[in-house]
Amino acid sequence: MKRWPSPRTFRSRATDRSKSGPVSTRVKTGLANSVDLAETVRAKRLRIVAALSARFGDVELAEDAFAEACVRAAATRSPPQDWAAWLYAVAQRIAVDSLRHSRVVRAHAEPAASFDEEVSVSERSMIPDRRLALFFACCHPAIDIASRVALALSTICGFSAKQISRACLLSPAAVSQRLVRAKKKLAGSGIMFEIPDSRFFAERLEAVLCTIEIAYSQAHASSDPDGEQALLARQTLELVDILATLMPGNAQVNALAAALWFSEARRPARRDAMGKMIPLEDQDPQLWDRSMLARARDYYGQVDTAQDASLRTLQADIQALWCSRRRQSDPAPWNRVLARYDRMIAIRDSAFIRLNRVVAIHKLQGAAAALREFEELPCAALEGSPAYHAVGAELLSHTQSVREAIQAYDTAIGLQEGSAERAWLIAQRDALTLR
């Protein structure tokens, strides 16, 4: 299919994300139907933007059109029966109008008149599922791998530049520059928004897996069972399942799927009755989701960590170790977990892996030994991570450095976005003030 130029003749008030925040938070105000609309935007944004991108061959046009459709939706006084279908149809009309205005619309673009805002058809009948196709397009080898991941996180997962910068250890300015360059590359290179032939999976797979991995890590950072992060977690699980179907027997895909399903199975046990986070070691395995554990074990059963010892297979191994506990009284597998982290560092020395290793050392060798390791961590890379400051606070609290520990907890609380995690951090800090 021939590519056509990307018009930039309209700029809706809905597209300035740096000032206004994600679309899903901006449509909540207004009319009585705004709750249903906001839920639809959160749940269906990825599928709609993916379908629009595939149709018009332009990620930025798709995002702009969808954002403008959301603004129009928030202002309508006649809510449709199916918000998703309404948003998709209106966004298509907006995109076509923009193409017409810039005089580059082609014969295969449908007339604007065919997209009526009074949509009566259902989402199922009109919105194609092109999510994974958009993943592969964003992860095209024509774009450098760091920019591929940043673009996929921004476009597909709705991450802000600040969130991407934390996840990828880049500055927000650098992330913004990468996003601009990547979108221009997509728009000007005739890149197809289709799942490529299986022969070309390998050159894109690592970026696709990295994106899913980072997206789930962001979702897992919150223990909320019903919020936006839980929804993002479910969407990443859907995507990794689709990928596993496309690439049966692939060790990296199966390892990631196993790790994600093991981790998500524990969500029901991650908060107490007061809404406070429960650390993994203290969770009740009886509360874990049995059907999710079974699915995770199916994927894990296809992973041979002895033959394919990679970061992902070892991470799946760690998750399987934790989920092998049957009762809360069962001993935590810290010895075996530490051994896996040591193997991971031998493969790739990572600040986040070292931080997790410090926690294991604390459990096995005590706070003093762990603090020595902690002080060797690259603090500049981890400064924006609440986990980094929380671990430091815990170690300091056990070495009689109470004032420094309280300061570290305050920093972690300020960075933490999850309410359950923040409540746990506050409780830990407040306990120190009573000493």
How far apart are alpha carbons 311 and 317 in whole angstroms? 10
What mean pLDDT comes out for the span 407-425? 94
Per-residue pLDDT for 1 more than 60?
A: no
Q: Which of 42, 40, 89, 44 is nearest to 69 (CA)?
A: 89
What mean pLDDT comes out for the span 241-256? 90
Residue-level pLDDT at 98:
86
Residue with the bigger pLDDT between 137 and 341: it is 341
Per-residue pLDDT for 11 more than 70?
A: no
Residue-level pLDDT at 256:
96
Q: Give the range among 36-50, 83-97, 212-226 with minimum mean pLDDT.
A: 212-226
Q: Name the pTM for this structure.
A: 0.76
Per-residue pLDDT for 112 more than 50?
A: no
Percent of the chain whose pLDDT exceeds 70: 83
Block residue for tokens 């997509």: 186
Q: Give the range among 18-32, 114-128, 186-200, 283-297 with minimum mean pLDDT.
A: 18-32
What mean pLDDT comes out for the span 227-237? 78
Per-residue pLDDT for 20 more than 70?
A: no
Contact partners, residue 303, CB within 8 Å, separation at least 6: 251, 254, 255, 258, 313, 316, 317
